Amino acid sequence: MKNNIRVARAEVRMTQQQLADAADVSRQTINAIESGKFVPSTVLALKIAQIFGKRVEEIFILEDSD
């Protein structure tokens, strides 16, 4: 699964730590999601999308291999 979290953060000038605080997770979790090492739960994916005011599909993209 690919994601646009880094791009979304850049658009609003948000750090990983700020996103982590808003989503109530660790900065390491955000880093792992951004780098594709961790797939977030549905709840966390929804929270992240909501923080950016976007649809989940705008942040997370399923790949053919998923």
Residue 53 has a pLDDT of: 98
For residue 55, give the DSSP letter: -
In a domain, 63, yes or no: no
Contacts of 10 (CB under 8 A, 6+ apart): none
In a domain, 64, yes or no: no
Residue 66 has a pLDDT of: 81
User: Residue 28 sits in which domain range?
Assistant: 2-54
Residue 64 has a pLDDT of: 87
Residue 65 has a pLDDT of: 85
For residue 13, the domain's CATH number is: 1.10.260.40
In a domain, 35, yes or no: yes
Residue 26 has a pLDDT of: 98
Indicate the pTM of the whole model. Answer: 0.92
In a domain, 66, yes or no: no
Residue 52 has a pLDDT of: 98
In a domain, 65, yes or no: no
Residues of the chain scoring pLDDT < 70: none
Number of domains in the chain: 1
Q: Where are the alpha helices (DSSP H) in the chain?
A: 5-11, 16-23, 27-34, 42-52, 56-59
